Amino acid sequence: MKKLPLFLAVGLCLVLPIVAEDRKPNVIVIMADDLGYGDLSCYGATTFKTPHIDRLAEEGRRFTNAYCTASTCTPTRYSFLTGTYAFREKGTGIAPPSSPAVIPGGTNTLASMLKSVGYKTAVIGKWHLGLGGPEGPDWNGELKPGPLEIGFDYSFLLPTTNDRVPQVYVENHRVLNLDPADPLWVGNKAPDANHVTGISHRETLKMDWTHGHNGTIHNGISRIGFYTGGQTARFRDEDLADKWVEKSVAWIEENKDAPFFLFFASHDLHVPRIPHERFQGVTPHGFRADSIVQLDWCVGELTTTIEKLGLSDNTLFVFCSDNGPVMDDGYADGALEKVGEHRAAGPFRGGKYSVYEGGTRTPFITRWKGTITPGASEEVVSTIDLYGSLAGLTGAVIPENAALDTQNVMGALLGEANAKGREDLVQQDNGTAGNYGFRSGNWKLLRHDSLTTRNLVVEKELENGAVPRFQLFDLSVDPGENENLIDSQPEVATRLQARLQEIIDSGRSRP
C-alpha cells in the first residue's frame, strides 16, 4: 500500500477529529407518562429500583426544579413541541378519541426546527395530539395532517392514549395492518344497543373500571369511547413497550449516520397499566410501579443501542415526564391499595390535574457523555425550553412568530458553570378551567379561576375541594405548599398576580 506524504497524513489527523466534533449531537427525548417526582430510585423511591434511569442521572444532570408546563398530557405535549404555552391556543385540552390534529400542519415545531438544520426526525409512542383535518381522523384512509406535517420524517404511534379508543398502531399516515374488508369505526356513542361495553359485560373484564372508562371492551379492558372493526389492526396492551423499543432501535440503526432526533413517547405509566407479563409482580405496588420498571427497561434498551453503535459521546438524552402522578385514574389496578410507603409525588402536594407542585414538578435528566458535567442542579428548567435550547445548540433560527414562550437554558442543561435556568414559569391544569401555577424565583402563586382542584393528595382517593382563588407559597422553606402567605405577603402577591396576568395577556414571553 502506497504511503501518504507526511504533510497530508498530518493534515488528515488534524481534520478528521474536527469533522467529527462538528457533527451536531443526536437528541433522544424520552417522555414518561404520569411519572411523579418520587417515582424513581434516583429521586428517592426506596421500595423498587430503576437502575437504567439512575445511570442516566449518575452520568448526567439530575434536575430538582424541573417542570412540564401542564398537569395533563395533551397541553404539555403541545407546548413541548411548539415552544408555546398551551393555554394560548383553544382546543389544547385532553384530546378525545377522534380529535382532529391539535397542532395544524405547517406549524413550526421542535421537529421542523431540527429538520431545518439537517436532522432526521421521528416520533414513536403515544401521540395524543389528534390526527386529521377539522372533521377528525379518517381511520380507514390517510390520517393527515399529523406528525409528518409538522416536521417528523417518521411516526409510529398510539394515536390517542390507551384508555381511549381505538387500540391500533398508526404508521405515518395509515392504521397498520388494517383490513379494508373490516373497516374501523370510532364514535362517542355506542353504535347499537347490543354493543358490548364495560357496563353491559362488566363481569367479563380482566381489569375493572372505577369511574368512566366503561365503553368498548378490548383485551378484557373497557375504554373511553366506542369502536368496531379493525380486528387485524388491534394490538395487545401488554406488548406496547416492546413495540416502541423495537421500532425505535430499528429507526436509530437506520439513521445512525446522520444527526437524528427521536421523540420516544412512552405510554408507561398511564392507565390502563398493563405491563408485559415479564414485568408483572416485580414490585410490591402492583401494575403501576411494575410499569415504571418496564419504562426503566425501555431506557436501558435505548442507551444500550446507542452504546453498541458507538454514539454515546455524540448523543444527548433528555428524560422527562408529561405531568405528575395519579393513583386511581379510572381502573381498579391496585395502585391505591398497594401504595404502601411509596410517595409518587415525593415531598410535593398534588399530582395529575392539579397546579400544585406535584402536578408539574417532575423528574428531568440530561446526559451527554463527555460534554455534560454530572451532578444535581437546582436550576429551574422546563420541557417547553427544549425548543429554544436545542435551537441555540444547533444554530437553528426560530421564526419571530413561533415558539412564543420557550427559552434557551442549554447552559443549565449541560451543567455549565454559572449557567442559569428560568426566572419564572407558568403552569396550567388541563386548560379548560383556567387554573394556573406561577413560579417566580422561590415564590409560587396559585390562581384557581375554577375555585376547585382535583387530586390534592395523590396517595388517597381523588379529592374535589374548594380552594381560595389565590394562594402564595415560599418554596424555599415550604416545598409542600402548606402555608398560604397570600395575606402576610401582599406586595409579593400583588407583583406575581400582575406578572402572571401580563404573561397571559401579552401573547408571548419569549423576547
Q: What are phi and psi of 418, to 5 degrees?
A: 65, 5
Cβ atoms of 475 and 424 within 8 Å: the answer is no
Residues 484 and 401 in one domain: no
Residues 252 and 387 in one domain: yes
Residues 61 and 113 in one domain: yes
Q: What is the DSSP pairing of strand 61-67 with strand 375-382?
A: parallel
Residues 317 and 257 in one domain: yes
Q: How many structural domains comprise the chain?
A: 2
216 belongs to a structural domain: no
Residues 156 and 262 in one domain: yes
173: its cell numbers: 399516515
308 belongs to a structural domain: yes
Say what the pLDDT of residue 432 is: 60
Where residue 136 falls (left for φ over 0; alpha for ψ -120 to 50; beta otherwise) is left
Boundary-marking domain end, from 381, 400, 422: 422
51: domain CATH number is 3.40.720.10
Residues 450 and 405 in one domain: no
223 belongs to a structural domain: no
State if pTM tops 0.85: yes
Say what the pLDDT of residue 454 is: 54
- Between the alpha carbon of residue 332 and those of residues 34, 208, 290, 335, the distances in Å are 17, 5, 15, 8
Q: What is the DSSP pairing of strand 154-158 with strand 217-218?
A: unpaired
Boundary-marking domain end, from 422, 447, 476: 422
Q: Which residues contact 175 (CB under 8 A, 6 or more apart)?
A: 139, 140, 143, 168, 169, 184, 230, 233
Residues 415 and 328 in one domain: yes
Q: How far apart are CA 413 and CA 400, in angstroms?
A: 24
103 belongs to a structural domain: yes
Q: What are phi and psi of 357, to 5 degrees?
A: -55, -35
**Is 392 exposed, middle or buried (CB count within 10 Å of its CB: 0-12, 13-18, 19+)?**
middle
Residue type for position 2: K
511 residues of the chain, pLDDT tens digit each: 334 444 334 343 333 333 344 779 999 999 999 999 999 999 999 999 999 999 999 999 999 999 999 999 999 999 999 999 999 999 999 999 999 999 999 999 999 999 999 999 999 999 999 999 999 999 999 999 999 999 999 999 999 999 999 999 999 999 999 999 999 999 999 999 999 999 999 999 999 999 999 999 999 999 999 999 999 999 999 999 999 999 999 999 999 999 999 999 999 999 999 999 999 999 999 999 999 999 999 999 999 999 999 999 999 999 999 999 999 999 999 999 999 999 999 999 999 999 999 999 999 999 999 999 999 999 999 999 999 999 999 999 999 999 999 999 999 999 999 999 999 999 999 876 689 999 999 999 999 988 665 544 455 544 556 788 999 999 999 999 999 999 999 999 999 999 999 999 999 999 9
Residues 397 and 451 in one domain: no
449: domain CATH number is 3.30.1120.10
19 belongs to a structural domain: no
Torsion of CA 248, 253, 254, 257, to 10 degrees: 130
Residues 127 and 74 in one domain: yes
- Domain range holding 443? 425-506
65 belongs to a structural domain: yes
Q: How far apart are CA 385 and CA 413, in angstroms?
A: 10
**Is 401 exposed, middle or buried (CB count within 10 Å of its CB: 0-12, 13-18, 19+)?**
exposed
136: its cell numbers: 377528525
Residues 339 and 441 in one domain: no
480: its cell numbers: 409542600
Cβ atoms of 424 and 85 within 8 Å: the answer is no
Residues 396 and 446 in one domain: no
189 belongs to a structural domain: no
Residues 391 and 442 in one domain: no
50 belongs to a structural domain: yes
Boundary-marking domain end, from 372, 402, 422: 422
Residue type for position 30: I
